[in-house]
Amino acid sequence: MRILIVEDDAPLAAGVAQILRANGYVVEATGSGSDALESAAREHFELVLLDIGLPGIDGYEVLRRLRMEQEQLPVLMLTARTAVGERVHGLDLGADDYLAKPFAMDELSARVRAVIRRAQAQAAPRIVHGPLTVDKLAKRAYLAGEPLEVTAREWAVLQVLLAKVEKIVSKDSIINAVADWDEELSLNAIEVYVSRLRKKFEPAGIHIRTVRGLGYMLEEFKALAG
């Protein structure tokens, strides 16, 4: 598996590369956003580790351009910025996860494994989340083996939440996911779609949590005791 490190702090990039290579990954490193975009266009990577504070083209712009060309490429953002708004902005642009500096190398390795694992699962034609099974090719959903009726927009919202299990998804991100329709969507409309999904899922123990001021989170499924 190939990983692209985009980090202008050379000692940090070298240390991260050494750890990842020891874990069996093939690593390429660059310190600029423009070089990163060229590498991503030229080669296939399973993951991009992307620093926000890059010279010239910053990490946010690199991420925006990556998402225009490679929507499914996993991106783990590295940031020294601790403000919640900064992290939410990165997630809204399409980052799969973020890790705040300074970080422990063990945590970095765990995050890398988790992001790649989720990306591989999402690439599969079927997604299983507890009693919920989603067939992406057929665009059908099943709950406890029974067909589950969902509207087109509910389906789009569900796809976004399933792609970010245990991660906060902002309402703006959900609006962007269903933006193929001509009319504008309001934040209230998103609340309606999430509420409908809740009513369908919660009897089966699947929970969509509201994170006040930030968005929604599809919680990891935990089987009911007894």
Rounded Cα–Cα distance for residues 99 and 81 (Å): 10
Its domain, for residue 60, covers 2-123
Q: Return the CATH number at 213.
A: 1.10.10.10
Regarding whether 112 and 202 lie in a shared domain, the answer is no
Pair (101, 147) in one structural domain: no
Digit-by-digit pLDDT tens for the chain (226 residues) are: 899 999 999 999 999 999 999 999 999 999 999 999 999 988 889 999 999 989 889 999 999 999 888 777 899 998 876 667 777 788 888 888 888 888 999 999 999 998 888 787 666 678 889 999 998 878 889 998 899 999 988 998 998 898 888 888 888 878 877 765 445 677 888 899 999 999 999 999 999 999 988 889 999 888 654 4
Residue 132: its pLDDT value, please? Answer: 94
User: Which residues, at least 6 apart from 23, have a Cβ–Cβ distance to it below 8 Å?
Assistant: 109, 112
Residues 117 and 10 in one domain: yes
Global pTM exceeds 0.85:
no
pLDDT, position 61: 93
Regarding whether 108 and 29 lie in a shared domain, the answer is: yes
Domain boundary among 123, 158, 177: 123
Tell me what pLDDT residue 68 has: 84
Give the three-class secondary structure for 100: strand
Give the chain's length.
Answer: 226
The DSSP bridge partners found for residue 100 are 79
* Domain identity same for 115 and 74: yes
The reported pLDDT for the residue numbered 143 is 93
Q: Give the residue from 83, 100, 123 where a domain finishes.
A: 123
Q: Which pLDDT score, from 0 to 100, does residue 167 have?
A: 83
| Whether 117 and 152 share a structural domain | no
Q: Measuring CA to CA, which residue among 40, 107, 56 is closest to residue 78?
A: 107
Q: In whole angstroms, how far apart are CA 192 and each of 62, 92, 110, 180?
A: 33, 20, 35, 18
- Give how far Cα 55 sits from Cα of 34, 35, 59, 195, Å: 10, 11, 9, 43
Q: How many domains does the chain have?
A: 2
